Chain A
């Protein structure tokens, strides 16, 4: 029986794989990589918006992890350790490229003071109709600083105090930038939805159809 088959039949746990990896066991490294590759790569991809960079960063994050695996003592979850390390690798890369890690207020060109919208625009409600592809696309379009905050908080689940430490801003700043990132995302999603609705209407236009825009959105109350 091969080592790998034995590991599999023993229902190799993450903890067992970590111990074997510390001994230099190739199968254990591959097992650990297989367990976490999707989460790490998705994190890198969402934060950079670039598949080639995301692959490089995934490679770097796992290499750093495996080089240090001998020091892992299990005080925290292995996945927590890895994801924190991955975030650090990505943030370091963003800083190297002089991309904003901390959102810059001035880059937000929307009017975040109120939810008012252009009068006469169609009433586009997103709630309950956002699918993964739409959201993924909109996140990729976010300015880098907003993307970082949104991915760390809403996608990855880090708390504001953790984010503040990681990217070097205040907790209040993290909160306010997250809010602006969400508003910007909503704007991007609504724009996409409006464009689709418009092209759909044009494609299916019939003489008897009433093309009057629906009422309402957006007047400020």
Chain B
């Protein structure tokens, strides 16, 4: 068996169909054994991409608005807590400049990457770890994040958990991008990832304001 013949049966080989002749070729051919190892590695890692990124919070906002418009969401029989009462706009106003500062901070980090990346990898995946946040160790919550979480603490538990999860996810992506940028400051993809993560975090802050103040 030569390399061309081996590659023609490679898809079946990857699905478990082996013959002694194929095994013999692999033993004697480093090119084909490397190819097989690489493809196996790609196949093994692929499921890690299954659920790794969250949509921005505005997606749910848009869905909720549309569902209400179409009458699919009806107000629950038991009243939800008044959103206007527990988190008045004046208490949340400080979040807006903080959110804007987040994106500015991301821009500064891109131009001065040397200080970034002193944190441990979080979202680095292993085949057994498809979920970024679920598998990640808990990291210290920043003061600003904690203040946001405190501000929305009286929201229904499911929503609070969603806020926490979204915040952790954004922070995990920020840490990953910073680590990547530390090793390669010119990595455009990591720069984009960092900006997206900060934009997502900014949106979370703004959402805390909008969804409370906006429903008064």
User: Which residue numbers of A lie inside 8 Å of B, CB to CB?
Assistant: 2-8, 12, 23-27, 29-31, 33-34, 37-39, 41-43, 45-46, 51, 54-55, 58-59, 62-63, 66-67, 112-117, 123, 125-133, 135-137, 139, 150-151, 154-157, 175-176, 178-179, 182-183, 185-186, 189-190, 196, 199, 216-221
Contact of B7 among A23, A113, A189 (CB under 8 A): A113
Complex CA distance for A4 and B157, rounded to whole angstroms: 7
Interface size on B, residues (CB 8 A): 73
Contact of A66 among B7, B48, B72, B161 (CB under 8 A): B72
User: Which residue numbers of B lie inside 8 Å of A, CB to CB?
Assistant: 2-4, 7, 10-11, 25, 28-32, 34-35, 37-43, 45-56, 58-60, 62-64, 66-68, 70-81, 123-125, 131, 156-159, 161-162, 165, 169, 176, 180, 184, 189-190, 193, 196
Are A132 and B48 within 8 A (Cβ)? yes
A115-B32, A127-B38, A186-B39 are contacts. A135–B49 as well, Cβ < 8 Å? yes
Are B54 and A41 within 8 A (Cβ)? yes
Are A133 and B62 within 8 A (Cβ)? no
B residues near A4, Cβ cutoff 8 Å: 80, 156-159
Are B159 and A115 within 8 A (Cβ)? no
Are A38 and B52 within 8 A (Cβ)? yes
A2-B80, A113-B4 are contacts. A29–B59 as well, Cβ < 8 Å? no
Complex CA distance for A8 and B4, rounded to whole angstroms: 58
